Amino acid sequence: MAFDSLQAFWLMDGHGPYVWTCYGVFLAGLVGLALWSRHRRKVVIREQQRQLARDRQDQGESTPAAAATFSRIHPS
Amino acid sequence: MWQFFHKLGSPKWFYGIANRFMPWLFWLGLALLLGGLVWGLAFAPKDYLQGNSYRIIFIHVPSAFLAQSVYVMMAVAGVVTLVWRMKLADLFVKAAAPVGAVLTFLALFTGAVWGKPTWGTWWIWDARLTSMLILLFLYLGVVFLGSAISDEKSSARAVAVLVLVGVVNIPIIKYSVEWWNTLHQPATFKLTEKPSMPAEMWVPLLLSVLGLYLLFGWLACLRMQTEILIRERRTRWVKDFVSTGGH
Amino acid sequence: MTARQPGVALVTAQVGTASAMWTVVRRDLKSSFRQRQDLLNPLLFFFMVVTLFPLGVSPEVSFLQRSGSGILWVAALLATLLSLDHLFRHDFDDGTLEQMVLQPQPLFLLVLAKTLAHWLVTGLPLILLAPVLGIMLHLEGNSIAVLCLTLLIGTPVLSLIGAIGAALTLGLRAGGVLLSLLIIPLYIPVLIFGTGTVAAAADGTPVGGYLALMAAFLVLAITLAPFAAAAALRISLSNS
């Protein structure tokens, strides 16, 4: 440990505000990025589930054959 | 070889692989980053010249380093997009650009706050900070161009062209900014240049760089998955995948 | 817009590349002389922006002498930026551009020709106007001469890089603002070396090396930018 006490660790010889602001903003930025990216994927999945449900309703419940006519395309 | 390449280009295949790798990337990256940061904050010795404010290095350097290498990665992906039309490559460019922009911003912010105790002012038109600022402009251009073009395919290719033009320019920009800097203010005190860093300082730095790299990998995978779901929404496998719960 | 554009039909398979380029240049010059407002706007803008600095900052001779070259360079850069939107816009709107893409001649050479025409109607007049403004900003004779030389080498680079941005943002709704955002960072090296060379000349340093470096930028831009702009044009056209 490079510091004698928790107090010294917090103050960092007067440089504490700068150091802690930087670390705070850095972590907030990363956490924000992570949460935002996860949220986006969740939103997209939910949106498509809703869309699928709507399509199924439009076609009637008993036509799984219609769903199978979607061509299976894997262009690469 | 080509078969492998095509498989690599298949979004479905990538989605599964990414799912398998992402927990590793996330937890390993988080552990390395936090380990490096705690080590750097609490255990690394004080710098004899700058005092404790130098501890910002453990986040400033990783962000700046990654911000620059993400742009280069995007350029490589841009070449792949334009030459081989590989789907995953253009997904990567779109997924990585906002992350790169945030990292560049973080590098700028930490650099400015570091400047206050070191130079006595928040902002100095120092060569490094200035080229970082220009890099931020380049990133923002990529992000905005990508979102301005609604057609997914041409959006990806236009962004690839822009990234390539940018990457050709980056060395020129760097060189000219350095020249400009010597012209206007000779020999300022550089933030990160040290004659030799003791191991107690560079090991935590290395850890946090590695950790941030892995976390970037995780973020890129996550965002590419999102892009895949949007772009392949009409295919069978996405419909199956979504209707089984999307996990 | 007039539906009949002169000289489009001339670019056919029998026409050689050089004469096709020449046709494009002549046609663009002709059509821009028909719309004199477009021709005059960047020049007036250049003049007015320069006027703002003595009014907004200080009319002191020492300030103007020190920052005059920078002011002129920034104003020239902005004026070029303003005119870039017209580079492909008219041809895009009336479909000429699609014809051009279909021509047997390589597209990047036609883009180069269009850029040359753009420079002739925007860059060149700026250079001719620069000495007048230089005198108004109390620059010394030597500085004015070097400034015009740097503009002569630098403004074609601005047009060439700008062509990439104009091609990328073609047909987008917020094209104009986005164009500036994409292009300004790429203009920075030209600006730095343009003003730096004038500053060096004012200090009495030999500027041959700097001018050579700027010429190297120009060569690089001539060889690479038309390719990028042509690729961007194809993408933008496939989009619409």
Q: Domain ranges for chain B, please list them.
A: 12-44+51-187+196-243
Q: Which of A22, A34, C186 lies closest to B99, judged by CA?
A: A34
Rg (CA), chain C: 19
Report if residue C112 sits inside a domain: yes
| CB count in 10 Å sphere of residue B48 | 7
Q: Is residue C11 part of a domain?
A: no
Q: Which residues of B touch C185 (CB under 8 A)?
A: 134, 137-138, 141, 166, 169, 173
pLDDT of residue B66: 92
Amino acid type, C25:
V
The answer to whether the beta carbons of residues B80 and B159 sit under 8 Å apart is: no
Residue C13 resides in a domain: no
- Contact between A70 and B59 using a beta-carbon 8 Å cutoff: no
| Residues of chain A positioned with their CB less than 8 A from the CB of B232 | none
CB C232 within 8 A of CB B158: yes
Indicate whether B52 pLDDT > 60: yes
DSSP state of A13: G
Residue C229 domain-assigned?
A: yes
Pick C143 or B7 by higher pLDDT: C143
Please give the backbone phi and psi of residue B53, each rounded to the nearest 5 degrees, phi first.
Answer: -65, -20
Q: What is the mean pLDDT of each run of 10 residues along chain C (240 residues)?
A: 50 70 87 83 92 90 89 94 87 85 86 92 92 91 92 94 92 83 92 90 86 92 93 84
Rounded CA-CA distance B120/B114 in Å is 9
pLDDT of residue C9: 52
Of B134, B145, B172, the CB nearest to C178: B145
pLDDT at B139: 95
Kindly give, in sequence order, each residue whose CB lies less than 8 Å from that of residue C155, ignoring residues fewer than 6 positions away.
C76, C80, C119, C122, C123, C124, C126, C127
pLDDT in tens, B143-154: 999 888 888 888
Question: Contact C164/B173, CB-based, under 8 Å?
Answer: no
Q: Would C3 be classed as within a structural domain?
A: no
Distance of alpha carbon B33 from alpha carbon B213, whole angstroms: 9
B127 or B183, greater pLDDT: B127
At residue B196 the predicted structure's pLDDT band, cuts being 50, 70 and 90, is: low
User: How much is the pTM?
Assistant: 0.86
**For residue B53, what is the DSSP state?**
G
In angstroms, rounded to a whole number, what is the distance separating the alpha carbons of residues B173 and B136? Answer: 13
Question: C4 in a domain, yes or no?
Answer: no
ipTM for the predicted complex: 0.85
Asked whether the beta carbons of residue C178 and residue B149 sit closer than 8 angstroms, the reply is no
- State the chains in contact with A (3 or more Cβ–Cβ pairs under 8 Å): B
Among A5-19, A44-58, B69-83, the range of highest mean pLDDT: B69-83
How deeply is C14 buried, as exposed, middle or buried, from its count of CB atoms within 10 A (0-12, 13-18, 19+)?
A: exposed
Count CB atoms within 10 A of the CB of residue B110: 28
So what's the pLDDT on residue C2? 45
What residues contact residue C97 under an 8 Å CB cut-off, 6+ apart?
A: C88, C91, C233, C237
pLDDT for B185 equals 54
What the block records as the tokens of B37 is: 């940061």
Least confident of B88-97, B115-124, B201-210: B115-124
Q: How many domains does chain C have?
A: 1
Domain that holds residue C121: 18-239
Across the range A9-36, mean pLDDT stands at 87
Nearest to B68 by CA among B29, B109, B106, B104: B104
Q: Write the single-letter amino acid at C234.
A: R
